Amino acid sequence: MLLFDAHLDLSMNALEWNRDLRSTLQEINERERGMTDKPDRGNAVISLEELRKGNIGIVVATQIARYVDKNSSLPGWHSPEQAWAQTQGQLAYYQALEALGELTPIRNWNELQEHLNYWNSTQDAKKKIGYILSLEGADSIITVDHLDIAYQYGLRALGPAHYGPGRYAQGTNATGGLGESGRALLSRMEKLGIILDATHLCDDSFWEAMEHYDGPVWASHHNCRALVDHNRQFTDEQFKELIRRGAVIGMPLDAWMMVPNWVRGVSTPKNMNVSLNTMIDHLDHICQLAGNTNHVGLGTDLDGGFGTEQCPYDIQSIADLQKIPDLLVKRGYSHQDVEKICHKNWINFLEKTWE
């Protein structure tokens, strides 16, 4: 089954974790043995080889760089200009992988169709993985005019917020709306046709964004507040609004968002019984709200600052996502439903957005 993963922080892993994604997964983890600067050292699940093994032919690959003021305890850059420079380095990494024949950019409907035909017809063990460029958190957009520059180099989706307060929107664990700058950002996004990624928007900013943005919306990696009561999750009313707008919601695999009462550094996937079936619980909840399977997909966020210590116990490599089709069938989903969840919903969304 072809898989489409709508949220992977590939360049962050390469530049901030110093992982060469062309290496094997074993090589990446062996190189990190004994390192303690990140909680997930030696627990990576992603390499380009593993993406190919898992038939994950299309990914939404991120740029990410937060701006923080001097009073913030969050990690980040001390000026928007520094954050912009970081995202440009991440862009350069993706472009370097393009030059090596590892990745290919997808920026419009024709390129998506061409890549699908290539992926399904090519037997090469080192097929080019298609990637759609997204920005997680808009802090690095120095001025709204920089959004035009980003669109020209391939940016096609943007989440205005990440964790904490932002320059254009308020994110996880923060409160408040968009303000004038955020509304100006949305207006330019709508003009350019950039997809609004509602992920991480706090409740106030979410509802203000829904009021002011009439362009395409998705939520690349979001779980259900009804199952895990935290502001990082969306309420049923928020999901209903996304469904009304034709959005697709990707299911992330960060364990603390999958089960209640997870304690970082103490809980383990085994003792909290976190498996891919737990993800399906969240997916199924959204399907029940929608009354169909048209609005859910995968947005795993794997290696997004966590690894096997904090993801489903039946994931040792991102290639293990191929377990999902059988699990969905066992839960009563039809083959047509499984295809929608694994790739078709994202592709159908992009067809409506881009064609």
1 close to 339: Cβ distance less than 8 angstroms:
yes
Measured CA to CA, the distance from residue 35 to residue 24 in angstroms comes to 18
Show the low-confidence residues of the chain (pLDDT under 70): none
Give tens-digit pLDDT for 271-289.
999 999 999 999 999 999 9
269 close to 310: Cβ distance less than 8 angstroms:
yes
Query: C-alpha 91: how far from its chain's center?
Result: 16
Count, residues in the chain: 355
Query: For residue 161, what are the CA distances in angstroms to 83, 111, 216, 248?
Result: 14, 28, 17, 18
Query: Do the bridges between strand 129-136 and strand 103-105 make them parallel or antiparallel, or are there none, so unpaired?
Result: parallel
Enter the tokens of residue 161.
């917020």
CA angle 89, 107, 183 (to 5 degrees): 75
> Which pLDDT score is estimated for 71?
87
Q: Which domains does the chain have, with CATH numbers?
A: 3-354 (3.20.20.140)
Measured CA to CA, the distance from residue 210 to residue 96 in angstroms comes to 36
How many Cβ atoms are within 10 Å of 305's Cβ, its own excluded? 15
Ramachandran angles phi, psi of 294, nearest 5°: -85, -5
> Which pLDDT score is estimated for 70?
87
| Close Cβ partners of 263 (under 8 Å, ≥ 6 residues apart) | none
How many Cβ atoms are within 10 Å of 202's Cβ, its own excluded? 23
> Which pLDDT score is estimated for 229?
98
Measured CA to CA, the distance from residue 116 to residue 293 in angstroms comes to 22
> Which pLDDT score is estimated for 194?
98
The H or E element that residue 180 is part of is helix 179-192
> Which pLDDT score is estimated for 355?
87
> Which pLDDT score is estimated for 26?
98
- Radius of gyration (Cα) for the chain, nearest Å? 19
Query: For residue 167, what are the CA distances in angstroms to 72, 79, 182, 230?
Result: 13, 11, 8, 23
